[in-house]
Amino acid sequence: MTTAVGAPGSPRRYLHALWLLSARDLKVRYATSALGYLWSILDPLVMSAIYWFVFTQVFQRSVGEDPYIVFLITALLPWVWFNAAVGDFTRAFNKDAKLVRSTAIPRSIWVGRIVLSKGIEFLFSLPVLAIFAIVSGAAVGWGILLFPLAVALQVSLLVGLGLIVAPLCVLYSDLERTTKLILRALFYASPIIYSVGDLPGIFPQLAAFNPLSGIFILYRAAFFPDQWDTFAVAVGAAMSILFLLLGLVVFRALERPVLKEL
């Protein structure tokens, strides 16, 4: 017999339910896979290897910094988290429609569980970054202290986007495919294989309004302090918080129509 944690509607009860659902997602994902945990690192590892080979062995690279493999991985790992979470947001409610309708817990938990489970996979993949940093001799500086801030801002951004994308995809089914196209374009519009400073003309200022630019700079600050851009970081932080607030407003307005549609 399990004992309920916290009073109904309390933050403690919410967090407990959030953890149980996220843990269930991870167990299901790894239990049905022979490679299990390795899938958390294979995707960013293969992507990094491909881009490293193309830009260092095939073409003359003029973007990023050395060691380039570390430069790539510091942005690719959080990108995989972002991409996987946003992709799952499009099916967050439709996938468990019956459960969403019948449970008394806040419906925002279906967004939170995705952010948390994908975030845990991101943390599981960090040993890959550590190994490549050691092997390539990348120096670790004071910027490592900014890593928790980068994670916190990415969580804020993802929760905000999830609270917008998840209900809209229930009401407008075509948005699921549209979101996939946007994510594909956003990969190249984000400073992953290049840095904000590599962009010409006015593009560095424009790139700053992509909140991922400032977040990736925070991740890279541990190894590449020269990549620091105060404007991009400040704008990224402000937009991440803005998306969170906007998401809360949008979700509150759409929750009832979504429940009717499910």
User: Per residue in 8-24, pLDDT tens?
Assistant: 556 777 777 777 777 77
What integer pLDDT is reported at residue 179 of this predicted model? Answer: 93
Comparison of pLDDT for 154 and 63, the residue scoring more: 154
pLDDT digits (tens, 9 = 90+) for 181-238: 999 999 999 999 999 988 988 999 999 999 999 999 999 999 999 999 999 999 999 9
pLDDT at 151 over 90: yes
Rounded to the nearest integer, the mean pLDDT of the chain is 85
More confident residue, 164 or 32: 164
pTM: 0.87
Q: Which two tokens stand for residue 148?
A: 């928790």
Task: State how far the alpha carbon of 20 is from the alpha carbons of 70, 95, 113, 114, 164, in Å.
Answer: 34, 17, 9, 12, 23
Tokens 């967050």 map to which residue? 92
Quick one: pLDDT band at residue 5, thresholds 50, 70, 90? low
pLDDT for 2 equals 44
Q: If you search the block for the tokens 């424009």, which residue do you land on?
A: 206
67: preceding bond cis by omega (within 30 degrees)? yes
CA distance readout (Å), 144 to 74, 81, 98, 123, 130: 12, 19, 43, 15, 12
In 3D space, the residue among 191, 190, 43 whose CA is nearest the CA of residue 128 turns out to be 43
* Spatial CB neighbours of 209, under 8 Å, sequence gap ≥ 6: 235, 239
For residue 232, the model assigns a pLDDT of: 95
Render pLDDT for 9-65 as a digit per residue (tens, 0 to 9).
567 777 777 777 777 776 766 666 556 667 667 777 787 788 778 777 776 777 778
Mean pLDDT of 149-165: 97
What are the contacts of 129-136 at 24+ separation with CB within 8 A?
A: 129/70, 129/73, 129/74, 129/77, 132/67, 132/69, 132/70, 132/73, 133/70, 133/223, 136/67, 136/69, 136/70
Q: What is the pLDDT of residue 49?
A: 80
pLDDT above 50: residue 1: no
At 81-112, the pLDDT tens digits run 999 999 999 988 887 777 777 777 778 888 99
